[in-house]
Structure 1
Amino acid sequence: MAFYRKVLGAELLQGDDPITCPWLQLGGLTITLLENTDRSSQLSFSEQAMATLLVFTDDISGAFDRATRWGARVIEPLVEGNANFLIADPDGIYIEVAGE
């Protein structure tokens, strides 16, 4: 959860739900994160499949700086002339960050 809050700027939503999974507000999107209790297992997808979260920002340079400052694993860096980059969360889920 810290990754999503620090790197992507998601806000933790508080509620009365007795279920302990956290809910986060990421722009106009509400997401929940389920803990991977078996850290020995990695997510497994076929070579043709990929789990990706796409996030839009109005400050692509600032988003890339924040991601690298907080230690995000960079898959495809922000390159001059491009308006997107690709990082991975601690569980290996790819997150593409694109400029609006």
Structure 2
Amino acid sequence: MSRPTHPKKEIEEALRHAEGHGWRIDVGGSHAWGRIYCPFKDVECRCGEFCITSIWSTPKNPGNHARALRRVVENCSTHRNQRDADHDAKE
């Protein structure tokens, strides 16, 4: 079953980016449109307390919220370590 599409296109693109990196998206909740969950359960992961991030349905600035969601995905330390290892292997 596919998830519903987010009404703001910038945020939907950020959610697809997160899904492409293995993050899980749960739609619904008390005050948010949904949440994204980090796929890594690594002890040294910097995102230990940030592994769950809320997705707002009507943010004041959708572009800024989309950039923040992408930043959470890109700054996950486990993801960053894997990306750096892949980069080092290519050199």
TM tier relative to shorter chain:
0.3 to 0.5
Higher helix residue share: 2
Higher strand residue share: 1
TM-score (norm 2): 0.37
The higher relative CO (CA closer than 8 Å, separation ≥ 6) is in 2
